[in-house]
Amino acid sequence: MLNQFPSFFADANSNYNAAEFVIFGIPYDKTSTFRHGAAEAPSEIRKASWNFEPYRFETGVDFREVRVHDFGDLPVKDLSPKDMVKEVEIFVKKIKKDRKFPVAIGGEHSVTLGIVKALGDEDFCVLSLDAHLDYRDEYEGERFNHACVIKRISEEIGIEKIAILGFRSADKEEYRNAINDKLFFKDIFNLNKLGLKNVLKELKKYFGKSKIYLTLDIDVLDPAYAPGTSTPHPFGLTTFQLLEIIDEFSEKLIGFDIVEVCPPYDNGETSLLAAELIRTTITKYYYNVLKIK
């Protein structure tokens, strides 16, 4: 049924020059280490996006009002991890030069590094929502592996500009290094013990007035909500907890990505969720920042 719909994201009807938001796919999963298939996510998420009504009653925003352009996919599928990161960086630099808000659909988590490198001349922090720390120096001999993305990002912008919420899986050495390096993180057990509202209050204080780039690894959610992911791990966030986090920071965003959706491992539920999260985050930002102008 989904194959009858157009190949672009639903209601992303604006041309590039007029657009405020630019959606682009990064179909890459060469360093995936458990399940492969994240490269299929951009096309499956686009198909799933046609399931939803454009009107958002909670904000009064009609998605068709928002100037969104779907650029399509970047031609990175066959590149080395390092070359893929460079291609993503070049593309996002163009988007930022043209004053567009980048919305990336991965692909595995390694794609985020290229985006952050492109934004590097801005003053911003990175909020990573993830079941994993991704703070290894290298994995299986590869420094651009998806398990190393936060380590590489810390080398670009400084570890003090990164925060991780929802993690619940780490290598022993990786975990010790994160603590020794003073990486800000809240594991899922701490988060639930302290309460999400209190954690968000602490995080807002930590970020201060900085803008935020949001990288959303779908595995931050419990597999009950997002089974189709590359490295699922139980005891994750609920979808409503995730919405609360997005609500809290949407007006400070300078861009976001959704990564690690792995369509071969479910019946489309995770792609539907990812599509709705993209629409929700765009409309929240539009409502809080652009519509009030």
- pTM here is 0.95
Candidates 24, 111, 106, 112; CA nearest to 68 is 24
Query: Measured between alpha carbons, how far is 229 from 222 in angstroms, rounded to an integer?
Result: 10
Q: What percent of the chain has pLDDT over 70?
A: 97
CA pair distance 38, 265, nearest whole angstrom: 10
- Structure confidence by residue, pLDDT tens digits, 74-86: 999 999 999 999 9
Share the mean pLDDT of the chain.
Answer: 94
Q: What is the CATH superfamily name and number for domain 2-290?
A: Ureohydrolase domain (3.40.800.10)
User: Measured between alpha carbons, how far is 124 from 131 in angstroms, rounded to an integer?
Assistant: 22
What are the pLDDT digits (tens) for 6-55? 789 999 999 999 999 999 999 999 888 888 999 999 999 999 999 999 99
Tens of pLDDT, residues 141-190: 889 889 899 999 999 999 999 999 999 999 999 999 999 999 999 999 99
CA quadruple 244, 130, 66, 11: dihedral, nearest 10: -120
Mean pLDDT of 97-117: 97
For the chain, the structural domain boundaries read 2-290
Query: From CA 164, how far away is CA 152, in angstroms rounded?
Result: 14
Work out whether strand 124-129 and strand 211-217 pair parallel, antiparallel, or are unpaired.
Answer: parallel
Our CA dihedral for 30, 126, 235, 205, rounded to 10 degrees, sits at: 170
Q: How far apart are CA 52 and CA 7, in angstroms?
A: 15
The pLDDT, as a whole number, for residue 1 is: 42
Sign of CA dihedral 262, 266, 269, 272: positive
Under the phi-then-psi rule, with left for phi > 0, alpha for psi from -120 to 50, and beta for the rest, what region is 162? beta
